[in-house]
């Protein structure tokens, strides 16, 4: 029995991946960085690098999350080396998430990445560890501390 | 108040502009657009789309290290010597994007200093000289299976020589010969036959493996004089003609304290026109032309850190390197692996862990 194979244009494959995960990735990076320009740039750069690698990337969706977060972390590191705290930006988030975005800025970079990837993007700890270059147990610690701090800060806001 | 987890659901109301036209227009690694007004940015993107074809053509002429025809080779796995791993399995592999790091469990215990064969199908490695075991060179399949000894130092040299520092080997471009430094520069066939000393060097310290040029004409090696780099000595790179016709000095770094560089850990660009190396004076990753011209600094580390172990990707586009805390630094012993474009732009983090040492990047035929 003959088998029919269709060749998928690599760019189409990446565009499909962008349509599937791009907006969510962009929002996750916005939560992580608090900077709209940086979130858009890291998203676009990660997909552009993915297109360059073409078929060498087996899972574009997973690859682009890892790459985009590393690009964003690198950009933030360039801009501020002060204990993971984010530099001030002019971005003004919508009312529905303003307090969350403001509170996230008070977390360390690892805590911020862990809780955004877990609570917003839905990644398990082992994959978060792979994305941020850590271990699953360390991610659990980051998550626990991040939730505790966020809870305190957001409760204070609500009071 | 809502639970923290519930609050994240509201993040779906955050803006997410369609970036696809931006993505297809941009050259990867280009600096982020200036945060000017969005209309200006949109105009720039539109203009970029129009001139994209021209830009690609121009870039082809300005790439620092083109050589390898596009699509001729693909980047395979990177071999990592992970000192924090168990003693039995210190050789690991990871994907070019930093993912999937795993042990090569089929390799024999204490295997170290691995190098991919030029066709990416085999790994040569050493079982380096411990106090109880003279150095041996082995070859295995890419998955670590079929490991066998091709060179047992004790069969050829004195016990004292076999306990000298051994720091790796290099395959010839055709994969038929292996070069290594053991006091002098030696070459043998891949099966261990025809061992001969190519040059008598009287090396007392060896700081990195030799590197065979892609055209097969040269074997590049580092030589330290007056002590190790960082301890009063100078490190320089030398090009030894593979036909035995002579050696010439490539870099001219003076003694530490008076030097502009201390060159170790060289890696050839796949086009054979230039060489990247670690500069142990500044901790920078630098490149130099094979004729000794055009010494450039690609990346300089932050204070308290070193960059080391550059390896050039088989397709010539990228260089992977590591960031180590300086000796004596109070910084935690975390090693970060970065990838940058071959011109030094756009470094991104690939991997963070205990103490990986990158050694070799697998060259695979292109699948396209």
Q: Residues of B with CB below 8 A from A27's CB?
A: 11-12, 14, 16
Tell me the C-alpha distance between B169 and B172, whole Å: 10
pLDDT above 90 for B311: yes
Confidence category of residue B365, pLDDT binned at 50, 70, 90? confident
- Chain A: residue whose CA lies nearest to B100: A130
Residue A129 phi, psi dihedral angles, 5° rounding: -60, -40
Burial B150-177 (b: 16+ CB within 10 A, else e): bbbbeeebeeebbbbebbbbbbbbebeb
Q: Which of B98, B264, B296, B255 is nearest to B181 (CA)?
A: B264
Tell me the C-alpha distance between B142 and B172, whole Å: 17
Residue A2, domain member (yes or no): no
> Residue B84 to residues B49, B103, B306, B333, B355: CA-CA distances in angstroms?
48, 12, 19, 11, 6
Torsion angle of C-alpha atoms B319, B320, B326, B332, degrees rounded to 10: 150
Q: Residues of A with CB below 8 A from B302's CB?
A: 81
H helices present in chain A, as ranges: 10-33, 36-53, 60-79, 95-104, 109-115, 125-132, 136-158
Check: complex ipTM more than 0.90:
no
Which CATH number does the domain housing residue A135 bear?
1.20.140.160
- For chain B, domain boundaries: 19-62, 75-365
Q: Which of B235, B259, B232, B230 is nearest to B328 (CA)?
A: B230
Inter-chain residue contact B26 with A48, CB threshold 8 Å: yes
Residue A4, domain member (yes or no): no
Inter-chain residue contact B353 with A133, CB threshold 8 Å: yes
H helices present in chain B, as ranges: 4-7, 20-25, 38-62, 159-162
Question: Six-digit token pair at B32?
Answer: 């982020």
Tell me the C-alpha distance between B76 and B91, whole Å: 16
- Host domain of residue A60: 10-158
Inter-chain residue contact A48 with B348, CB threshold 8 Å: no
The string of DSSP letters for B133-183 reads: S--EEEEEETTSTT-EEEEEGGGTS-HHHHTS----EEE-TTSSEEEEEES
Domain count, chain A: 1
Residue A20, domain member (yes or no): yes
- What are B94's strand-pairing partners? B78
User: How many residues can be counted in chain A?
Assistant: 159
The string of DSSP letters for B81-101 reads: EETTS-TT--EEEE-TTS---
Put residue B80 in one of left, alpha, beta given phi > 0 → left and psi -120 to 50 → alpha: beta
Q: Does domain B75-365 have CATH number 2.120.10.30?
A: yes
- What are B185's strand-pairing partners? B181, B199
Residue A18, domain member (yes or no): yes
Which range has the worst mean pLDDT, B208-222, B224-238, B342-356?
B224-238
> Residue B367 to residues A16, B66, B75: CA-CA distances in angstroms?
22, 19, 11
User: Which residue carries 């500044």 as its tokens?
Assistant: B282
Which residue from A36, A55, A158 is facing B15, i.e. has the nearest CB?
A36
Question: Six-digit token pair at A88?
Answer: 């001030």
Residue A1, domain member (yes or no): no
Mutate to test the interface with A, among B15, B96, B331, B337 (most CBs of A within 10 A): B15
Mutate to test the interface with A, among B11, B71, B351 (most CBs of A within 10 A): B11
pTM over 0.80: no
Provide the residue-wise pLDDT of chain A in tens; the chain has 159 residues: 343 444 556 678 889 889 989 999 999 999 999 889 999 999 999 998 888 877 767 678 777 888 888 888 878 877 765 444 555 665 778 888 888 988 998 888 888 998 998 888 877 666 676 677 666 656 777 787 788 888 888 876 554
């Amino acid at each position: 029995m003959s088998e029919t194979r269709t060749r998928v244009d690599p760019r189409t494959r990446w565009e499909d991946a962008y349509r599937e995960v791009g907006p969510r990735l962009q929002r996750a990076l916005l939560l992580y960085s608090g900077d709209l320009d940086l979130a858009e740039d890291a998203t676009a750069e990660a997909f552009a690098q993915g297109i360059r690698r073409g078929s060498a990337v087996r899972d574009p969706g997973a690859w682009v999350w890892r790459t985009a977060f590393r690009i964003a972390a690198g950009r933030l590191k360039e801009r501020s080396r002060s204990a993971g705290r984010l530099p001030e930006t002019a971005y003004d988030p919508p009312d529905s998430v303003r307090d969350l975005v403001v509170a996230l800025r008070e977390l360390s970079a690892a805590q911020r990445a862990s809780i955004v990837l877990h609570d917003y993007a839905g990644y398990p700890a082992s994959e978060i560890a792979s994305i941020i270059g850590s271990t699953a147990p360390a991610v659990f610690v980051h998550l626990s501390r991040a939730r505790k701090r966020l809870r305190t800060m957001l409760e204070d806001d609500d009071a | 108040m809502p639970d923290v987890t519930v609050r994240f659901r509201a993040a779906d109301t955050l803006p997410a502009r369609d970036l696809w036209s931006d993505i297809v227009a941009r050259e990867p690694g280009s600096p982020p657009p200036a945060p000017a007004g969005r209309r200006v940015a949109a105009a720039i993107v539109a203009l970029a789309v129009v001139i994209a074809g021209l830009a690609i053509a121009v870039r082809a002429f300005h790439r620092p290290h083109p050589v390898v025809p596009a699509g001729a080779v693909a980047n395979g796995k990177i071999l990592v010597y992970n000192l924090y791993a168990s003693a039995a399995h210190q050789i690991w592999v990871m994907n070019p994007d930093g993912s999937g790091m795993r042990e090569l469990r089929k390799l024999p215990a204490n295997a170290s200093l691995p190098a991919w064969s030029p066709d990416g199908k085999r790994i040569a490695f050493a079982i380096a000289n411990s106090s109880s075991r003279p150095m041996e060179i082995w070859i295995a399949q890419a998955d670590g299976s079929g490991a066998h000894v091709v060179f047992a130092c004790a069969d050829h040299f004195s016990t004292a020589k076999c306990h000298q520092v051994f720091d790796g080997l290099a395959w010839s471009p055709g994969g038929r010969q292996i070069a290594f430094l053991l006091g002098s520069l030696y070459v043998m066939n891949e099966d261990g036959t025809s061992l001969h000393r190519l040059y008598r060097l009287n090396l007392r310290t060896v700081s990195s493996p030799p590197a065979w040029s892609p055209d097969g004409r040269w074997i590049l090696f580092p030589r330290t004089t007056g002590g190790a780099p960082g301890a009063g000595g100078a490190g320089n790179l030398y090009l030894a003609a593979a036909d035995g016709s002579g050696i010439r000095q490539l870099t001219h770094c003076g003694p530490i304290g008076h030097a502009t560089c201390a060159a170790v850990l060289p890696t050839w660009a796949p086009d054979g026109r230039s060489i990247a190396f670690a500069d142990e004076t500044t901790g920078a990753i630098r490149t130099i032309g094979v004729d000794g011209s055009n010494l450039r600094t690609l990346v300089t580390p932050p204070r308290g850190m070193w960059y080391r172990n550059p390896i050039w990707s088989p397709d010539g586009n990228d260089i992977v390197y590591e960031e180590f805390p300086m000796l004596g630094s109070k910084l935690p012993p975390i090693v970060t692996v970065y990838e940058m474009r071959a011109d030094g732009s756009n470094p991104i983090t690939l991997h963070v862990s205990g103490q990986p040492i990158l050694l070799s990047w697998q060259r695979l035929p292109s699948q396209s």
